């Protein structure tokens, strides 16, 4: 699988020495890679999609499973542009992406283009900012010990 993915996506990076096959893909290859993982490799279940803030970069981490073989992979995407992070939705590939993407939008401010309901899911519409970002500050809601 690594060879086939490397040939099709020359900018893919594989992490070494991890329990699960873990790859990082550029934003522009994300949708194509995810579609390929479903269609050609049978990863039919997106069981986790998480927003991440590594300080310098925002990103998302996806965990996929082939429910026939129970094989799992991890796909990461980084957004160097913290001001306007945006990527294509995975709703059309996996229905489970719907709520994951809304939560990530709400808490991290990452926009998913083409999503059917791209609006906050947990916080109120008048909430300012995205509280899971490392640079988010709200003095009225902070507990300092």
Q: What is the DSSP string of 100-137?
A: HHHHHHHHH--EEET-TT-S-SSS-TT--S-TTSTT--
Residue 144 has a pLDDT of: 56
Residue 37 has a pLDDT of: 98
pLDDT band per the 50, 70, 90 thresholds, residue 142: low
Could you give the strand order of the β-sheet that contains 21-24, starting from the edge strand earlier in sequence? 13-14, 21-24, 71-79, 58-66, 45-53
**pLDDT, tens digit (0-9, with 9 covering 90-100), for 8-26:** 999 999 998 789 999 999 9
| Dist CA 49 CA 99 (whole Å) | 9
Mean pLDDT of 41-49: 98
Specify the fold of 2-86.
Beta Polymerase; domain 2 (3.30.460)
């Amino acid at each position: 699988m690594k060879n086939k993915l490397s040939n099709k996506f020359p900018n893919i990076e594989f992490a070494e020495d991890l329990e699960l096959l873990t790859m990082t893909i550029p934003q522009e290859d994300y949708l194509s890679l995810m579609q390929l993982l479903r269609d050609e490799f049978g990863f039919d279940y997106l069981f986790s999609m998480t927003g991440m803030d590594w300080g310098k970069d925002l990103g998302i981490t996806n965990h996929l499973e082939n429910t026939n073989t129970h094989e799992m992979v991890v796909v990461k995407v980084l957004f160097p542009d913290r001001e306007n992070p945006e990527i294509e939705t995975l709703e059309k590939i996996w229905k489970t992406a719907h709520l994951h993407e809304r939560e990530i939008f709400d808490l991290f401010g990452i926009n998913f283009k083409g999503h059917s309901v791209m609006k906050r899911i947990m916080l109120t519409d008048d909430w300012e900012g995205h509280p899971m970002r490392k640079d988010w500050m709200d003095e009225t809601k902070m507990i300092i010990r």
